[in-house]
Amino acid sequence: MKFKFWGVRGSIPTPGPRTVKYGGNTTCIEIRTDDNDLFILDAGTGIHALAQSLLKEMPIHANIFITHTHWDHIQGLPFFTPIFISNNRITIYGSQDPVTGEGISRALTVQLQYSFFPIREAQLNARVEYKTLIPGVPINIGKATITPIVLSHPVLNFGYRVDCDGQSLFFTGDYEPELNIYSPEDEEYEQFQVLIEEKWQEVVTAMANVDALIVDSSYTVSEYVSKRGWGHGTYASAIQLATAAKVKKLFFTHHEPTRTDADLDVIYQSLLQQYPAVGFDFELAQEGFEIPL
Amino acid sequence: MTQLDNDKLIACVDRMPAFPKSVQQVVHLTNDINASAKDIVRVIECDPVMTVKILKAINSAFYGLPKKITSVQRAVVHIGLNTIKNLALGVAAMGMLDTQNKANFNTAQFLLHALTTAAISKQLAERLRCSPSECSDSFVAGLLHDFGKVVFTEFMPIEFKMALEKSNLLQVPLHETELEFIGINHAQAGKILAEKWGLSEQLIAAIAHHHDSGGAKSALEDCVFAANQISKHLRFGDGGNPVLESFSEATAARFGLQHELPADFAMQPLIESLGDLQAIKTEAQSFIHL
């Protein structure tokens, strides 16, 4: 199994000379199994370049797993060229939204409306299917097994574990480890902390021992002070997660949109100094990088 | 006698609005970007309609939970605060329970009864040294035990009014007159709904059996039963049922009471052991702003 980053930026695309190294496209990860089965995690703007690379392979069967439906994770769906070409098969997987009660099909349907896009859903030539996943229930596609888990974010967000060919990776989507909503002096604080710790254990178990852990690490610890509750993690929380889950390699992603390449390089150097011996390698996710497992 | 159609009942409850104060609070707090999470959670936790709608959404088959989620706090940890907030806002968008209703049922007094029963039930669970999660379940079970009455008020107001009037006039238990006029009582209706919503077995049992005096009961069921009697006896709000029920031998034994005494005498030592229960009433009142 191998994977490639096509988009690593958080929130909004950031093209320009200062983001050339790490890339400015929003989240998209391509996974290829040893049998060349195609899995795509999220459909941010990075999926457009991925689509261009797939044109030579048509017809394709793409399995697209959406972590959540915030714009930066679905915005590329209408620009995923294979949906317009017959004989392609596109299966889109995701959660049922508890607030609207609707399935993942809404992520595309909402975008393909007259006011927002010139082509109607009925005009797509590929065979597009939607599948609603249930957290904790694995699904098998080819030799791969994909297992979703709910991870805290301001909308329902799935983290996905992919196991195939004796290897494994886990992608968090957007994730902020749960916070205690009570103050230590509140009667409810302790009980809520117990619930948080139970959930943390569930999360660590879901990503245990993976070869590659890809984690939303939007902020530094000092930036996080004013971003609590925004739904994103820190470099430190990603390290903590990777340590607890005993992973082989950690990738920080969802780079904060105002960061330049130079900023990210500085952050990486300081992380290397701060965490000299965590027992696993870590890197900043970089658009265009392919990682064999 | 009228038979309530279960499917119709369930469909109606999906559209049922919440209590006025909590609807106002949810709208107010969700419009304020700096509102504290615990304030929002507290509003949801104190409204039976909001609580059941959150629990129903999260316990649906789509979230494949190995263990049922029985509290709003647990729902927040599992699914995230913003989703819970938006679920609550969705409930608020359905309007507010009408304080003037054809059943002449005082919903503010009802809410005071439900909230004080919840708080006392939790205190009783703590007294029995139940686990923190069981104590939290006791609160939720107390809050929801009479949910069926709100449903009757909304969807069977004429029949429920007759049941309330006969119960009050003849001083007979409301759940008996409900059977006569509606065909099922509020505990049975609550059970049907709780099952449909996918609530935990323990919560379903506590709602279903809160008027049963016989048979072995769980600690949770006993806490709700006793809290209900205490709330009625102290006249904390009004659930529409004027009749105190006797403690069974097993329930009395669990709280160290003498079951052969009339209920008001039997529960006196328990009430005294709980300390200042007026504080519970005052806190609930301040929430409802009676």
Write down all domains in chain B, each with its CATH number in brackets.
17-92 (no CATH), 107-288 (1.10.3210.10)
Separation between Cα atoms, residue B230 and residue B108, nearest integer Å: 18
- Residues B230, B277 contacting (CB under 8 angstroms): yes
Those residues of chain A whose CB sits closer than 8 Å to some CB in chain B are 95-96, 98-99, 132, 134-137, 150, 152-157, 178, 181-182, 186, 188, 190-192, 194-196, 198-199, 229, 231
What is d(CA A179, CA A156) in angstroms, rounded to the nearest whole number?
Answer: 16
Interface check for B93 against chain A (CB to CB < 8 A): the answer is no
On whether any CB of chain A is under 8 Å from the CB of B64, the answer is: yes
DSSP-assigned letter for residue A78: G
Mean pLDDT score across all residues of chain A = 97
| Average pLDDT, integer, range A47-61 | 97
- DSSP tag of B16: -
Mind giving me the DSSP string for A31-69? EE-TT--EEEE--STHHHHHHHHHGGG-S-EEEEE-S--
The closest CB to that of A182, out of B38, B79, B86, belongs to B38
Residue keyed to tokens 């005993």: A246
Conformational region of residue B238, where left means phi above 0, alpha means psi within -120 to 50, and beta covers everything else:
beta
Residue A49 has pLDDT above 60, yes or no: yes
Per-residue pLDDT of A215-252, as tens digits, reads: 999 999 999 999 999 999 999 999 999 999 999 999 99
Is the ipTM above a cut-off of 0.85? Answer: yes
Cβ atoms A133, A139 nearer than 8 A: yes
Is B190 a residue whose pLDDT tops 80?
Answer: yes
CB pairs under 8 A between A and B: 76
Q: Which of B224, B237, B253 is nearest to B124 (CA)?
A: B224
Q: Which residues of B touch A150 (CB under 8 A)?
A: 63, 78-79
Residue B76 to chain A, least CA–CA distance (Å): 9
Q: Count up the domains in chain A and report the number.
A: 1
Cβ-in-10-Å burial (0-12, 13-18, 19+) of A45 comes to buried
pLDDT digits 0-9 by tens, B71-98: 999 999 999 999 999 999 999 999 999 8
Contact A173, A159 (CB under 8 A): yes
Helix (H, G, I), strand (E, B) or coil at B97: coil
Nearest to B38 among A136, A181, A229 (CB): A181
Contact across the interface for B74 and A195, Cβ inside 8 Å: yes
> How is residue A26 annotated by DSSP?
B
Determine the pLDDT at residue B86.
Answer: 95
Whether pLDDT at A210 is above 70: yes
pLDDT at position B289 over 80:
no
A18-44: average pLDDT: 98
CA distance A290 to A73: 20
pTM of the model: 0.93
pLDDT of residue B1: 40
Question: In the numeric block, which tokens belong to residue A231?
Answer: 């739904």
Please write the tens of the pLDDT for every residue from B242-269.
999 999 999 999 999 998 888 889 999 9
pLDDT for A277: 92
CATH number at residue A93: 3.60.15.10
**C-alpha closest to that of B152 among B118, B115, B190:** B190
Residue A100 belongs to domain spanning: 2-292
Burial of residue B5, with CB atoms counted within 10 A of its CB: 0-12 exposed, 13-18 middle, 19 or more buried: exposed
Going from the C-alpha of B283 to that of each of A170, B22, B226, B288, the distances in angstroms are: 46, 15, 20, 9
Q: Which residues lie closer than 8 Å to A147 by C-beta, 6 or more apart?
A: A136, A137, A138, A139, A160, A161, A163, A206
